[in-house]
Amino acid sequence: MTRAFSGIQPTGDIHIGNYFGAIQNWVELGRRLGKQALFCIVDYHAITIPYRAEELADRTFEAALVNLAAGLDPAQTTLFVQSSVPAHTELTWILLTQTPLGDLERMTQFKDKSGQHSVLTGLLAYPALMAADILLYRADTIPVGEDQDQHLELTREVARRFNFLYGETFPEPRALHTEKALRVPGTDGQSKMSKSKGNTIGVLESPGQIAQKLRLTPTDPARVRRSDPGDPGRCTIYTYHQLFSTDATVQMVNWECRRAGIGCSDCKALLLRGIERELTPLQQRAAELRRQPDQVHQALEQGRREAAALAEPTLEEVRSRIGLYGAKRTSSGLQ
Ligand code: SF4
């Protein structure tokens, strides 16, 4: 692993699925890789489906703030906003011209989303933008959930095709899966936690708001009465315990649930204590940053400069390899 790239969309409040699935992983990667870990708030991806323009900048700021509050250190890693580095869109255009339409149309996420929204061309081009995000930095390690595997495979194909046509330019990136990313279910107990499904627990929500959501979260359906034994393996609350509670509490819940020694309300109250323990320090740091927003703006500006410094040489090489006039003129010294 030499360079990692990962993106998060500023499409709504950051939830615990993002926190365990992406942000914690980023913080850890940042500690290991330092400036070779690039983290990007991908606002250009966010506008491929209908969105509210008046909220986008605030949500982008919010995504940065939460990442910083969660422990991402801008002195050690690079955190930046996608649209602040125009090389992303230029490389996207170049890659799009090399990408067969059928490769984009067969993406599962495109098929799913185009059923929900009117199809904008940006939605079709989304995987080419993702490929550009990664290839621009010649990143070889991509922390993603399994739902992004198909897009990453397309990125590899795009890199291979470009290398074949124009000479070795890009490494083929590999996915770095995290176990927890795959295991955070939504509060509806039916699907993965997702902003679009409205089944999230936000990392900045108050204990009262979270308690209200937990009250409505379904538990093992076998526990109709307090005296019915349950199976924690069929309960979303138990999955949350595994993320937030101490090992001793997880073991106790596992044991007591099976023999009806604990009721679901008490189990949820216990979980809430674990959630508060984990999220309170993050929420306090977020409140401090909110009082000093310049710290967030400065971190993003520093990240923009660092990302642009890495992106520009790649883009210049790409321009030259595909024969663009400006690049040829620069390299040959023509006036
Ligand atoms: S006791 Fe806890 S783990 Fe068992 S079903 Fe109730 S909420 Fe779920």
Read off the CATH number of the domain in which 129 is found: 3.40.50.620
Give the lowest-confidence range in 48-52, 86-90, 170-174, 303-307.
Answer: 48-52
- Testing ligand 1's pocket by substitution, the residue of 243, 251, 267 carrying the most ligand atoms inside 8 A of its CB is 267
Q: Is 37 in the pocket of ligand 1 (CB under 6 A)?
A: no
For residue 88, being part of any structural domain is answered with: yes
- Nearest Cα residue to atom 7 of ligand 1: 264
- pLDDT for 14 beyond 60: yes
Nearest atom, ligand 1, residue 222 CA = 5
Q: How many domains, in total, are found in the chain?
A: 2
State what percent of residues in the chain have pLDDT above 70. Answer: 95
Residues near 236 by Cβ (< 8 Å), separated by ≥ 6?
A: 185, 186, 187, 189, 217, 218, 219
Q: Please report the pLDDT score of residue 206 as a whole number.
A: 96
Same domain, 282 and 304: no
The active-site residue out of 195, 213, 268, 328 is 195
pLDDT for residue 335: 47
Q: Find the mean pLDDT for residues 15-43.
A: 91
Return d(Cα 39, Cα 171) in angstroms, integer.
19
Calculate mean pLDDT across residues 299-314.
98
On whether the CB atoms of residues 165 and 2 are closer than 8 A, the answer is no
Q: Is the CB of 189 under 6 A from ligand 1?
A: no
The answer to whether position 196 is within a domain reads no
In a domain, 29, yes or no: yes
Q: What pLDDT is recorded for position 178?
A: 66
- From atom 6 of ligand 1, which residue's Cα is the shortest distance away? 264
Residues constituting the chain: 335
Q: Is 195 a catalytic residue?
A: yes
With bands split at pLDDT 50, 70 and 90, how would you rate the model's confidence at 334? low
What was the pLDDT predicted at 328?
A: 63
What is the spatial distance between Cα 137 and Cα 88, in angstroms, rounded to a whole number? 10
Q: What are phi and psi of 73, to 5 degrees?
A: -105, 110
Q: Is 40 in the pocket of ligand 1 (CB under 6 A)?
A: no
260 ligand 1 Cβ < 6 A: no
Instruction: Check whether residue 306 and residue 235 sit in a common domain.
Output: no
* Co-location of 39 and 138 in the same domain: yes
Residues 298-318 have a mean pLDDT of 98
Q: Are residues 175 and 209 in the same domain?
A: no
209 part of a folded domain: yes
Q: Provide the percentage of residues in the chain whose pLDDT is more than 90.
A: 75
Whether residue 194 is contained in a domain is answered as no
pLDDT at res. 226: 94
Q: Which of the residues 35, 180, 192, 268 is marked catalytic? A: 192
Summarised one tens digit per residue, pLDDT across range 272-297 is 999 999 999 999 999 999 999 999 99
* Domain membership flag for residue 192: no
Show the domain range for 250: 205-289
Task: Give the phi and the psi of residue 36 in degrees, each rounded to 5.
Answer: -85, 5
Q: Is residue 31 part of a domain?
A: yes
Residues 209 and 309 in one domain: no
Sheet holding 174-176, edge to edge: 78-81, 37-41, 4-8, 141-143, 174-176
Q: Six-digit token pair at 199?
A: 């089944």
Is 262 close to ligand 1, i.e. is its CB under 6 Å away?
yes
Whether residue 33 sits in one domain with residue 135:
yes
Other Cβ atoms closer than 10 A to 259: 9
202 CA distance to ligand 1 middle (Å): 22
Ligand 1 proximity of 315 Cβ (cutoff 6 Å):
no
**Mean pLDDT lowest among 70-74, 107-111, 136-140:** 107-111
Gap between the Cα atoms of 17 and 187, Å rounded: 11
- Is the residue at 191 inside a domain? no
Task: Name the pLDDT band for 114 (thresholds 50, 70, 90).
Answer: confident
Are residue 32 and residue 139 in the same domain, yes or no? yes
- Rounded CA gap, 130 and 42, in Å? 9
Q: Do residues 218 and 133 both lie within one domain?
A: no
Mean pLDDT, all residues of the chain: 92
